[in-house]
Chain A
Amino acid sequence: MLYRTAGQFKTSYKADQALFPVRQDAILLGIIMVFAWVIFPFTASEFAFQTMLIPVLIYALASMGLNILTGYAGQLSLGTAAFMGVGAYACYKLLTIMPWMNPVVAIFLSGFFSAGIGVVFGIPSLRIKGFYLAIATLAAQFFLVWLFEKWAWLYNYNASGAIQVPNTTTLGTYVTGPLASSMTQYYVVLGIVTVMTILCINLTRGNLGRMWKATRDMDIAAELIGINLMKSKLIAFAISSYIVGVAGALYVFMWKGAAEPNLFDIPLSFEILFIAIIGGLGSILGNFLGAILIVGLPVVLNLLPDALGIPISSALVEHLNIMIVGSLIVFFLIIEPHGLARLWALIREKLIIWPFPH
């Protein structure tokens, strides 16, 4: 009843291709938007901004970038964190070399650097697939983090070897650096993530999306029906790395505030991969669901025992977190490879026919 589709007929292909063929989807999204743009930012505590709202969006964006490459185009990558690093260091250099530059512009520009490097490291994908490609991206992961450490120019020869986010302003408001408020940073992140999400939805539902999925599902057939595999894969690497790079810039400039090279080490790559898998490979919505789960779980595990009055050590909380995430990964890989997004699709299907099950 909730999801009544009766009476909603499509009279043209244009209508059928609309983003929300079912009205209830649009209403639900509208409600989520009101929460994201109004209710959350005006009611959230500093703690909520820093532990949930901002990181969920940034992780979701990084996962979306990975998903374009792995979930849509079928090219496995274990180097996500390193490409986030490229975005972050590029943004740092842009803003320190050209301090007058608008930070939001710098964030969007930094994605182009990771896109370029992504394409270079994507070239092996033209010859190798699956496991072997994953190893090649792992090489990128190690090489780039090594570069972040050794190339002192990247961190402006700081004695600490770390980058510190400078204070920058847009329209007279501090956007980055210690002086920026969480609410401002949240809105900047939300704006950027919203725009990128819309672009990704469009790319994945159109011709390029079909090209990627064809490449993923059966590359030989894809080539025989007229797909230039090289183009399909390299565009995927470019766009994926662009998004991941922007996410990396946001990660440091809108959230962490500072970064050392090891921040972009392999654990972060895996964290993003887990979000994509648990959320659902080949789904845009899944990135958000996965990010809420992976970012939210440790927060809840930390708060819950206290709220229930059960004393529990922080080490145990961490172990619990790892165990739960591990079992979720196993569960989704075996039982539901399409992740939380598929679970939602099933619930939605049930709601559409409810209460007349047939």
Chain B
Amino acid sequence: MKDTEGYVTADGRQIGGTLMEMKNITLRFGGVVAIKDISFDVHEGEIRAIIGPNGAGKSSMLNVISGFYTPSEGEVWYQGAKRPQMKPYEVARMGVARTFQNIALFEGMTVLDNVMTGRLTHMNASVLSQAIWWGRAREEEIENREKVERVIDFLEIQHIRKTPVGRLPYGLKKRVELARALAAEPSLLLLDEPMAGMNVEEKEDMSRFILDVNDEFGTTICLIEHDMGVVMDLSDRVVVMDYGKKIGDGTPDEVRNDQAVIDAYLGVAHD
């Protein structure tokens, strides 16, 4: 049902070709094997989930994708080419943006400034131009501010624009972090447990935002969850990990009925 040319989802959305392919990724920390020979792909425009119990290696996988960890073995293919070893900032400059399992906002800055940092990879005025606040630097600041304001409107955080991030409650911080990632206009958006620690209402809001982002901007999203229920309605295809291994890969329905997956989840029964 899928090939490199893309596929049509159950709800009739056209998904594009392969954007990224992880080939036989293994990641070791000393004696610990966090990821064991995992391969999967992400198609352009889809919502791809990685699920699995705590400690399965999901965050490690995301860190490999963003270049924070270098895999011990295996290759990352991005936009049709093998990605050489890269620093995280270089990966970000290729259009990969992300949020973190434990919120990683810049606490000393306002919401607006935090979201503006998402535009960093698109700004290149010289230091001199910035120092005299003239020419390129000024144009750039205004252009990018307009883009950032659209993201702020989209995520409904206008009212806290000028608030220092440190003062915000947890749920809003998660949203600001999403805003910062979205501001980068990424070709691949990585979300590490975007709904962790939220109440039901906040989870519903976040799910709606994720779907809207994918729908309105066609952004490819790869998200991690350890709560299986949340992801099933949201994602087009799901990779299931357990103890560093891939134990399932397919549509939510296929995965839900997979015996290996059911066993893995029963084994850790609602932690």
Contacts and interface: CB of A to CB of B under 8 A. Distances in A.
B87 A207 contact: no
A14 B131 CA distance: 17
A210 B117 CA distance: 6
B140 A214 contact: no
A235 interface: yes
Given A225-B92, A228-B89, A207 B125 contact: yes
B100 A221 contact: yes
Contacts of B92: 224-226
Contacts of B70: none
Given A207-B137, A224-B66, A225-B92, A13 B149 contact: yes
A117 interface: no
Interface of A: 13-14, 17, 199, 202-203, 206-208, 210-211, 213-214, 216-218, 220-229, 235, 239, 282
Contacts of A213: 106, 108-109, 113
Contacts of B108: 213, 216-217, 282
Contacts of B118: 225
Given A207-B140, A211-B117, A225-B120, 7 more contacts: A206-B130, A210-B113, A217-B107, A217-B108, A225-B121, A227-B89, A227-B117
Contact of B130 (A14, A203, A282): A203
Interface in B94-113: 97-98, 100, 104-109, 113
A218 B173 CA distance: 15
B132 A199 contact: yes
Nearest to B113: A210
B94 to A, nearest CB: 9
Contacts of A206: 125, 130, 133, 137, 141
B104 A214 contact: no
Contacts of A17: 141-142, 145
Which of A210, A226, A227, A239 neighbours the largest number of chain B CB atoms within 10 Å of its CB?
A: A226
B131 A199 contact: yes
Contacts of B142: 13-14, 17
A203 B128 CA distance: 9
A229 B127 CA distance: 16
B93 to A, nearest CB: 5
Contacts of A222: 106, 117
A228 B89 CA distance: 6
Contacts of A229: 89
B98 A210 contact: no
Contacts of B181: 225
Given A13-B146, A206-B141, A226 B89 contact: yes
B248 to A, nearest CB: 28
Contacts of A228: 87, 89
A222 B105 CA distance: 9
